[in-house]
Amino acid sequence: MSLSAYVPIIALFALAAAFALFSVGVSQIVGPKRYNRAKLEAYECGIEPSPQPVGGGRFPIKFYLTAMLFIIFDIEIIFLYPWAVTFDALGLFGFVEMILFITTVFIAYAYVWRRGGLEWD
Amino acid sequence: MNDLKLPAIDYAALAPMLILFGVACLGVLVEAAVPRARRGLVQVPLGLLGLVAALVFVIAEAGTRKRTAGEAIAIDGPALFLQGAIIVLGVVALLLIAERSLEPGGPFVAQPARPVGSEADRSQAAGEGGATEAYPLVMFALAGMLLFVAANDLLTMFVALEVFSLPLYLLCALARRRRLLSQEAALKYFLLGAYASAFFLFGIALIYGYAGAITFSRIHQAVTAGTGSGVLLFAGLALLAIGLLFKAAAAPFHVWTPDVYQGAPTPITSLMAACTKTAAFGALLRVLYVGFPGATWDFRPIIGVIAILTMLVGAVLAVTQTDMKRLLAYSSIANAGYLLVGVLAMTPEGVSSTLFYLVAYGFTVIAAFAVVTLVRDADGEATHLSRWAGLGRRSPLFAGVFTFLLLAFAGIPLTSGFTSKFAVFGAAFGGGQVWLVVAGVVTSMLLAFPYLRVVVMMWLSEPGESTPSVSVPGAFTSAALVIGVLVTLLLGVLPGPLLDLTTRAGDFVR
Amino acid sequence: MTPAAVLAATPMSTGEMWVFIPLGILALVGALGMVAARNAVHSALFLVLTMLCLGVFYIVQSGPFLGVAQIIVYTGAIMMLFLFVLMLVGRDASDSLIETLRGQRVAAILLGVGFAGLVCVGLGRALAGTTAKGLAEANSAHGGNVQGLASLLFTRYVFAFEVTSALLITAAVGAMLLAHIERRKGERPTQPEQMRARFAPGNYPAPKAGPGVYATSDSVATAGLLPDGTLAARSIPEILPPRELTSSETAPKGTDR
């Protein structure tokens, strides 16, 4: 495959990277430097960083449930894309197939919703 | 852009799978819509009705031999027979799963997400109704198994493998008692199963590289033509076989079996021992007989060695077990070895004897696990072997039933164990695999020892303080037990009809 | 056959080669880093690197849909799930380095390297004379990569595609079963109950005081002062250990310079 289609994207990436490097580098060279301890703190405005919470910052398991549900519907969306692209060629049977697929995955949604999986109390 | 067409789909031939998937989806909707107290009342009849309806369609389609849905699915003799077998075994296992009279709330925990040992966990152990999500999960697993034995290309087979594995991983984690053990079993099964799936997938990739296709007929053409790299073929087939032999619990891919069989809720263990084994061997038959018969001379020695290793590992390690469920797990491993002997005959008799063995073993093992659910004390099932000592004095009926089942495992005449072993050994002998038959007979004698030890212990020891009582089974468990024992006896005394059926069902379509 | 010779023997456009060489090295670094990193979060980030590189490879090999799906689903969604799981366990929890089975680590490394060698040598020899066919023909047959995929997915493999939804339902049910504790009726306190509990003796009904803001410190972990001069324990979050500033922290910061 010719990669010429990606040349503009690569050029944009290169441009962005070059600009970032340039800005950081130039400010290092030409910027005035008057260091004191306040400048070296995490928040120069004076707010002190808090210490580590007890338990090392563990998340509640609810986040996991949400992430898992997100993945399920993410995968469903991935299947929607080729269907949408070939919609004209597929015709009615493709539409029925996709409706069937979406309905079946929607059963999972109905279950999660009714059983309180989407509530955050 | 050229217009695409839907391939011809024979909905009647696919009906068993469609029905079970539909019932599973309905089951999930029931979980969403029906109040908690009534879910079990809806789920059990729904599941049983669905299975019966699927079985009706399997029987109605008995003469069908065709490929459908764009050649992705083959409905032929072995597929229909195995689908029927999985459905019937599934009904019997579902009866065990539905039993609620042995333990208040049933064999499953009410809310698996509650941390083990917490206040809420202790209160739910006392008898809160178990999670009814188990029923739709079982239906998904059974539907996946039906697809697994009928898949005509490797991609469909892989999807089916995942569809029936994922619910089983979950079901293993739902035990009401000894929850940590159950969760550990589920995690082990999941991790090792995912690993085996990865091997299977890698194998598909290599076979695709070899044959340029994943349909069994095209793979067969490529193997027969002999073009292409042998490395790709053998590495691909080896990786595919690892994936399948893992599910079939053949050594050295068996290490998960004892832990998972022990940790999982006993009804689920019976489902895995009967149905998963049937599905795994169904798929193995199809891969070897439809896709790779041209490579028989290359894979037979290697899988033969695996078969002997499996029989040996199962027989030898069964002797050392002190837990009834682990003992049955090692017995199930050894049985995978005998099944492999039948498979490796690579003759039509090989197919029919393997089909017969799967059915005979399935019923016996479900009945055996049904007895295990009955022997219990205040802490749930008493599975330690020492607890079974003297059981014959305390409850002669169930000890007698269990003795009969153990004799069937050992292959004593007048039980299905004898006829099925005779069938696979005969097929292997006919296929010229004398070495496998010799190994099979020797390990059978070895394997009889642990069974007889249990029998001796049950009848010749005095019941002690710690001998648990045998609960009176509810209607469901009684039905499962009666069916299992009757079939074990019937296939031992009168194996003719089923043998005929397996002979007629032995033809694959390619 | 050396890798360089393999590269030279394979027909590959220069652009492809210049993408492959640096990203191939990066992908390997990511994979090794994932195994070797002590910190689980670093492991996950190394895995992201490898997956991103693989996504680019798919795109370079004329499979843009697969490449984008790899980046969206794997690096996006699944890696996010990984990180969540790591955060559930606690970011500081690292593997204990005590081997439960003696020699397990050495055996695992030996077997892993052996298996990799076997696969690489085997595949290398098997594919030595093969010329890459590429996806150009398959992609042009239906007017594009995604169209080609769709033409297989919705016709030939339609049953497998529909059955995938069963997997998704099982995943949702499993996630709910294992991660969601359902509050039953009666377990959730009602509004009047909450109000009664709020004004019950022993509870403090008003909002809690904020943390202290002083000339020397305004951390959320610095407690506020009560009128009598004692520290208000209620003014800092329970999960943060209360903190006294060290003398070096309270020393003048030299901003006047």
> What is the secondary structure of chain A as a DSSP string?
--GGGGHHHHHHHHHHHHHHHHHHHHHHHHS-----GGGGSS-TTSPPPPPPPTTSSPPPTHHHHHHHHHHHHHHHHHHHHHHHHTHHHHHHHHHHHHHHHHHHHHHHHHHHHHTTTT---
Instruction: Please tell me whether residue B270 adopts helix, strand or coil conformation.
Output: helix
Q: Is residue A119, in this structure, part of any structural domain at all?
A: no
CA distance B324 to B262: 9
Coil, strand, or helix at residue B74?
Answer: strand
CATH number, domain containing residue A103: 1.20.58
CB contact under 8 A, C162 and A97: yes
- For chain C, percent of residues with pLDDT exceeding 70: 85
Mutate to test the interface with A, among B2, B3, B39, B166 (most CBs of A within 10 A): B3
Q: Can you list the residues of chain B whose pLDDT is less than 70?
A: 1-3
| Interface check A64 vs C, CB under 8 A | yes
Q: What is the pLDDT of residue B330?
A: 93
**Cα separation values, B13 from B195, C157, C257, Å:** 33, 17, 87
- In tens, the pLDDT along A39-54 reads 777 776 666 666 666 6
Q: Residue B343: enclosing H or E segment and its boundaries? A: helix B324-343
Q: Which residue of C has its CA nearest to B23?
A: C166
- Angstrom distance (rounded) from CA C37 to CA C31: 10
B67 — phi, psi (to 5°)? -105, 145
Q: Are the C-beta atoms of C27 and C54 separated by less than 8 Å?
A: yes
Burial category of C11 from C-beta neighbours within 10 Å (exposed 0-12, middle 13-18, buried 19 and up): exposed
Structure tokens at A8: 């503009």
d(C-alpha B329, C-alpha C44), whole Å: 36
pLDDT in the model for residue C1? 40
Q: Which residues of C touch B231 (CB under 8 A)?
A: 122-123, 125-126
pLDDT band at A64 (very low <50, low <70, confident <90, very high): confident
Report the gap between the CA of C158 and the closest CA in chain A (Å): 8
The domain C13-93: what is its CATH number?
1.20.120.1200
B322 vs C102, residue with greater confidence: B322
Picking from C168, B493, B302, the residue whose alpha carbon sits closest to that of residue A108 is: C168
Q: Does A32 touch chain C (CB under 8 A)?
A: no
pLDDT (0 to 100) of residue B61:
86
Rounded to whole angstroms, the Cα distance separating B382 from B471 reads 11
C-alpha distances out from residue C34 to A41, C30, C150, C186, Å = 32, 6, 34, 47
Q: How far is B309 from chain C (nearest CA, A)?
A: 21
Tell if the CB–CB gap between B131 and C177 is shorter than 8 Å.
yes
C212 touches C224 (CB < 8 A)? yes
Torsion from C-alpha of A36, A40, A44, A47, nearest 10 degrees? -110
C156–B163 CB contact, under 8 Å: no
The parent domain of residue B49 ranges over: 11-504
Whether chain A has a CB inside 8 Å of the CB on C141: the answer is no
Answer yes or no: do B156 and C160 touch at CB < 8 A. Answer: yes
Structural domain contains residue B197: yes
B6 lies in some domain: no
Cβ count within 10 A of residue B305:
13
Q: What is the pTM of this model?
A: 0.88
Residue B3 is assigned to a structural domain of this protein: no
Measure CB to CB from residue B235 to each of C122, C147, C158 and give the nearest one: C122
Identify whether B252 is preceded by a cis peptide bond (ω within 30 of 0). yes
What is the rounded CA–CA span in Å between residue B238 and residue B199? 9
C192 contacts C184 by C-beta, under 8 angstroms: no
Strand arrangement of the beta sheet that strand B380-381 belongs to: B380-381, B375-377, B469-470
DSSP string over B130-187: PPTTHHHHHHHHHHHHHHHHHB-BHHHHHHHHHHHHHHHHHHHTTBSSSHHHHHHHHH
Dist CA B138 CA B86 (whole Å): 12
Which residues of C, range 28-67, sit inside 8 Å of A by Cβ? 59-62, 65
Provide φ and ψ at B446, rounded to 5°. -60, -45
Amino acid at site C245: L
For chain A, the domain total comes to: 1
CB B488 within 8 A of CB B364: yes
* Domain with A29 in it: 3-114
CA distance C181 to chain B (A): 6
Tokens linked to C244: 């006294």
Touching subunits for chain C (3+ Cβ pairs under 8 A): A, B
Q: How many domains does chain B have?
A: 1
Domain assignment of residue B447, yes or no: yes
Neighbour tally for B283: CB within 10 Å:
25
Which residue reads 């208040």 in tokens?
B104
Phi, psi of B81 (to 5 degrees): -60, -45
Closest CA to B338 of B246, B423, B452, B244: B423
CA distance C124 to chain A (A): 23
Chains touching B (at least 3 CB pairs under 8 A) are: A, C
Report the residue of B119, B140, B187, B201 to disrupt the C interface, i.e. the one with the largest count of C CBs within 10 Å: B140
Question: Any bridge partners for residue B157, and if so which?
Answer: none
| Amino acid code (one letter) for C145 | N
Question: Residue B377: what are its φ and ψ, rounded to 5°?
Answer: -125, -160
Q: Specify if B510 maps to a domain.
A: no
C50 to chain A, closest Cα gap in Å: 19
B331, with CB counted inside 10 A (0-12, 13-18, 19+), is: buried
Q: B33 — contact with chain A (CB < 8 Å)?
A: yes
CA distance B246 to B241: 8
d(CA B339, CA B102) in angstroms, rounded, equals: 34
pLDDT of the residue at C171: 93
Q: What letter represents residue B477's amino acid?
A: T
pLDDT at C12 over 70: no
pLDDT confidence of C11, banded at 50, 70, 90? low
List B375's β-bridge partners, or say none: B470
Number of alpha carbons in the 13 Å side-chain half-sphere of residue C27: 13
Residue B414 belongs to some domain of the structure:
yes
Exposure of B400 by Cβ count < 10 A (0-12 exposed, 13-18 middle, 19+ buried)? middle
Residues of chain B in contact with residue A79, where contact means CB-CB under 8 angstroms, are none
Query: Per-residue confidence at A55, pLDDT binned at 50, 70, 90?
Result: low
Q: Taking residues C60-77, what's their average pLDDT?
A: 86
- Residue A121, in any domain of the structure: no
Tell me where in chain C the CATH 1.20.120.1200 domain(s) lie: 13-93
Neighbours of B318 (CB within 10 A): 25
Residues comprising chain C, all counted: 257
Nearest by CB to residue B163, choosing from C163, C174, C178, is C163
Tokens encoding C91: 């970011």
Across the interface, do C240 and A53 touch by the CB < 8 Å criterion? yes
Measured distance CA(B122)–CA(B116) in Å, rounded: 8
- Specify the amino acid at residue C73: V
Under 8 Å between Cβ of B243 and B192: no
What integer pLDDT is reported at residue A46 of this predicted model? Answer: 63
DSSP H or E stretch at residue B75: strand B73-75
> What's the angle, vertex CA C104, arms to CA C98 and CA C106, rounded to 5?
105
pLDDT band at C92 (very low <50, low <70, confident <90, very high): low
Give the pLDDT mean for A66-86.
88
DSSP character at residue C134: -
Q: Is the pLDDT of residue A2 over 70?
A: no
Side chain identity at residue B368, one-letter code: A
Instruction: Please judge whether B29 and A111 are an interchain contact, meaning their C-beta atoms are less than 8 angstroms apart.
Output: yes
Alpha helices in C61-157 (DSSP H): 64-69, 79-89, 104-126, 136-141, 145-151
Q: What is the mean pLDDT of residues C154-182?
A: 90
The CA distance from C125 to the nearest CA of chain B, in Å, is 8
Across the interface, of A89, A111, A115, the residue whose CB is closest to B3 is: A89
CB distance B268 to B97 below 8 Å: yes
If one compares B249 and C139, the residue with the highest pLDDT of the two is B249
Specify the 3-state DSSP secondary structure of C99.
coil
Task: Give domain status of residue A8, yes or no.
Answer: yes
Of the candidates C179, C220, C239, the beta carbon closest to that of A64 is on: C179
Say how far residue A79 (Cα) sits from the centre of its chain. 19
Residue carrying structure tokens 């031992």: B492
**C181, B163: Cβ pair inside 8 Å?**
no
Distance (Å, rounded) from C-alpha B249 to C-alpha B276? Answer: 10
How close is the nearest chain C Cα to the Cα of A23, in Å?
25
Residues of chain B in contact with residue C126, where contact means CB-CB under 8 angstroms, are 209, 229-232, 235
Distance, in Å, from the CA atom of B363 to the CA atom of B270, rounded to the nearest integer, reads 9
B380: left (phi over 0), alpha (psi -120 to 50) or beta: left
Contact partners, residue B338, CB within 8 Å, separation at least 6: B311, B357, B421, B424, B440, B444
